[in-house]
A and B are shown apart, each in its own frame.
Chain A
């Protein structure tokens, strides 16, 4: 018993089933990406910050565009050769298409990685400092000896689990702890479970739904925690993801950033930005900033005498977003700092990858009170990066999905190739339609995210 019209077209509609199916599926995909693109429009129209333009790596995006276009051609050639029953050619073109998909994803992953290790810090006055956290960023919390764990009788969103969420953050060996009962224990899964049981029994007796365990470290410990590993902290307490609270003293929550850019577009008075504070970038960088700004303004005036510089986003970016590529300001070279690797920095000044990789830019140590918000270049940074990662991530998933389907045709449809090549040709056609659609989406993504 066979479903009609799987191979040949139904005469009155002129379509075989899979063709109707794939077009319907693509219609739904149009609405999916339509929803995402309209989110893009909505977010961009309503953005209350400077929408990034040309901030991604245009070269890589461009290469990827070509790769996808090329693969769109090859998948068609594969189908045409199958129709002509040139099996060898068919296989070759299909393999090339899959290789293109792989290339695309590899390039994409390089782009992503560069973004993940790049940070932006918003100071309280609105200035953004961009750069790298070469030494990472951790909160150091010391002299912690009193730990309070909360145990819930019910299943709950937060569960005390010090073995997994506290001990790994302690500097050096984990110490012994003293319980309320006065026992000295090392904290392990087993001992913790004991304690938990006792605490619950106690809570039940007292008619409460939560119990607490109080532990005292025999030797006070120091804690190093990435901000993502804790819930919050104050000057005297730190609470971990599992709800455990430790008392002690905040030692250090300063952030050391190797700066590769100062974006002062959102500061009302860029010349007095916090960034030029003496213990941050200082006067000489301020001079460089002003020189750069004046130069840009001069240039804009001669180039476009009739235009309003305030309305040109490109000009604003050139004038108020200073890119820093060496550890000392260009004008001030020689006079200041005298750091050892100055010459080295100069040599690398012109290399393209420079800004993307690690910096030889000036290091500044930012105080927590001056930081309004910080993030690496991930969805958290702003709505532009949020929509960038979501759109390209989803598009990437489509590329992977398409590649898997095509690989299946290449490797596992051998029997159909021998017995019913016409049906396989239909399959390849349908797979190809999907592939072109993925290409089509990228055709819009590339200018919207990389160029405009």
Chain B
């Protein structure tokens, strides 16, 4: 451990002395500054929030499929001591007799979106993986600012707690969608005893914390990548994982502040009565509001989507990052087109800032600007396709190991493909006029993030689990996790395209029951699903409405599919197969050069990168992989004293 430090310059700062004594339990596991502990903390909280968001979704799906019927078990849960009253305060009080009411449905929708995006996928996919893996992959001992790293996690934690706690305040959680569009979000639910004790206020405050956390995190990641790469780790020898995370960090760093502005301005609107997002003459319930007016709801949408479009790439780039490691390792083939993928990721990052208003085609934009946004939106699919193609071609001619991580990785490819291709039509104003705010859009982005990103995250968990715990996860349980998940995901999201094209609005809380004109249509798919349910003795109407039941069944299958995963994660810590090598999958990147699990300080020798990151099946080599840190199989490279520092630019 200290060997790694010898060649680094010494700072004889005040921290020097106390860095060396062993931290206690709290310092080691709770308020740790170690990037690996923080990575695991982020990852576990991310998983927890994903589970929670998933649970909220299940309640929604029930009330869509069976509006007006009591959710089974909801009453029962409330009768459990200790948990019951808490659950009642958060959810139960809005579901008299177990029936989800409109308010609760709105809360569930808004909080599902928020939790999944800001508290689930980003913390797990970005913060968790990047913290654990990136410093190892570039061969350094920790992040550039370990203390800030700890702060980042705890700020995130506070934001999570505030977000959850907002269910418990008198008004309940926010009800205005994860997009929080003003003017509705600026003016609803204002009659309260104390505006500070309001779910909406807490949401906005939580977002401010969340944004600060991701700000600290991204500053840390970028600095680490720029300044702490090991000897020989030139930019173009950096694994694609680090590149993708590097780009993601820039998106977080520069796109989040405008959202912070949006949250702050909305807070000022709500708490101090300003009119940033409220136009003149706004009326509600036949009454002029007590506001000055003069603001604009469009301003909110611009600020929001300026973040939220880059945010969708924050959700997808970590997925590509993970797959770029998992796929070569399991096909035993180099990543196809490493260089073009790097450039594609950079282009994607840049372009993602310039397309946001494709979410706003219906706001009456002028011709010139909507043309501009259509062009950039179509342009951005080019780098996306390059990334996907690179991964797909990497499969070609490989001897593929179908372990769970590879199953998830290979399922990602077509699923993301569907998500991306269904996005293209939305890029054109004349099609979007019809599809905006329908289930089609919901289907589009869920194909990208759910069977897309989330599958990639599962792949990442299976892939790096042995490095963290020293044991592999169970193969059989892994497969039992994969197949129901794949089935469930498609059952939920594929029918959304059909419903969406039929005109189903995305926020109908009864799933369209009271919109018979649109929801009554039928086609062969609805007939098929109705007939299949008939076989089980269920009376499901042969109409678009009937698909709701199919989708909800899919959701419950998906839920069951997660049980093996949860068991697997926990049971394998003690019960998994012990790995015999520090590099169980035979990988080439530096994280596998460390002891298992990596100690504080990571490396037992000073790593030097002598080649590119994906040297699999090199002709003439005695084994099918050549690690970055070895000059020849089994022999770690050492840095000659005169090794020139790695070049700054490729």
Contacts and interface: CB of A to CB of B under 8 A. Distances in A.
Direct contact of A and B (CB under 8 A): yes
Contact of B14 (A25, A231, A415): A415
A209 B11 contact: no
Contacts of A415: 14
Interface string B2-22: 101100111111101001100
A265 to B, nearest CB: 14
A42 B264 CA distance: 16
A43 B193 contact: no
Nearest to B2: A1
A3 B142 contact: yes
B9 A42 contact: no
Interface string A411-431: 000011001100100000000
A378 interface: yes
B385 to A, nearest CB: 29
A10 B264 CA distance: 38
Interface in B253-309: 253-258, 260-262, 264-265, 268, 272-276, 280, 290-296, 298-299, 302-303, 306
Given A35-B257, A423-B11, A241 B193 contact: yes
Contact of A4 (B9, B171, B273): B9
Nearest to A17: B144
A365 to B, nearest CB: 21
A59 interface: no
B326 interface: no
Contact of A25 (B19, B219, B303): B219
Contacts of A25: 215, 219
A60 to B, nearest CB: 22
B223 A21 contact: yes
A272 B170 CA distance: 49
B272 A380 contact: yes
A17 B140 CA distance: 13
B198 interface: yes
Contact of B295 (A32, A378, A383, A389): A383
A143 to B, nearest CB: 25
Interface in A14-35: 15-18, 20-21, 24-25, 27-29, 31-32, 34-35
B227 interface: yes
Interface string A27-51: 1110110111011001100111100
Interface stretch (A158-166, A188-196, A249-257, A277-285): A158-166
B601 interface: yes
Nearest to B281: A48
A412 to B, nearest CB: 10
Interface residues of B, number: 81
Give the dominant DSSP class at B's interface. loop
A387 B268 CA distance: 10
Contacts of B293: 48
B89 interface: yes
A373 B290 contact: yes
A351 interface: no
A10 B645 CA distance: 9
Given A17-B145, A382-B294, A12 B192 contact: no
5 closest A-B pairs by beta carbon, nearest first, are A35-B261, A379-B274, A157-B171, A386-B274, A32-B257
Given A28-B256, A155-B93, A389-B268, 12 more contacts: A12-B646, A16-B227, A21-B220, A24-B253, A28-B219, A28-B253, A34-B258, A42-B296, A46-B296, A48-B294, A380-B291, A386-B295
Interface of B: 1-2, 4-5, 8-14, 16, 19-20, 89, 93, 96, 140-146, 148, 168-172, 189, 191-194, 198, 215, 218-220, 222-223, 226-228, 253-258, 260-262, 264-265, 268, 272-276, 280, 290-296, 298-299, 302-303, 306, 600-601, 645-648
Interface of A: 1-8, 10-13, 15-18, 20-21, 24-25, 27-29, 31-32, 34-36, 38-39, 42-43, 46-49, 154-159, 161, 165, 209, 231, 241-243, 373, 375, 378-383, 386-387, 389-390, 394, 415-416, 419-420, 423
17 contacts: A1-B2, A1-B141, A7-B11, A28-B218, A31-B254, A32-B260, A35-B260, A35-B262, A39-B276, A42-B299, A157-B171, A157-B191, A157-B192, A157-B198, A380-B272, A387-B276, A390-B274
